[in-house]
A = this chain, B = another copy of it.
Amino acid sequence: MHPLVEAFRNYRQQMNERILSRNNKVINRLFNLDTNVYQEGHLPVLTKEYIGLAASLVLRCDDCVKYHLMRCRELGAGTEEVFEVFSVASIVGGTIVVPHLRRAVEFWDALQEA
């Protein structure tokens, strides 16, 4: 696994466990909803991940982008499709999104080696 990917996964998992261990009922239920909302429903899982990816990009959250890129990759998304999601997010969000796009592309490349 590429070091960028590994570092992201490990820190995310470790801190999520730390947060959940505090047993704040509201936070733990929000984490739960976060899992449920991306489940297969009337929309396919991958469509939901594209939606989550674009939402994360326009809100400029690098870690959220990384997570959804990981999921897109696991679900078999291709680079062309992912770049189309990037293109919609870049037009909606403007050039302020571009620095996050640079890090997204770097992470997407790293995932291909994972």
Contact = CB atoms under 8 A, between A and B. Distances in A.
Contacts of A60: 61
The number of times this chain is found in the oligomer is: 6
Given A50-B43, A83-B22, A64 B95 contact: yes
Given A27-B87, A42-B81, 19 more contacts: A12-B102, A15-B105, A15-B106, A22-B105, A31-B98, A34-B95, A37-B88, A41-B80, A41-B84, A47-B47, A48-B84, A54-B54, A55-B55, A59-B92, A60-B61, A63-B102, A92-B94, A93-B93, A93-B96
Interface of A: 11-12, 15-16, 18-19, 22, 24-27, 29-31, 33-34, 36-38, 41-43, 47-48, 50-52, 54-64, 78-81, 83-99, 101-103, 105-106, 109
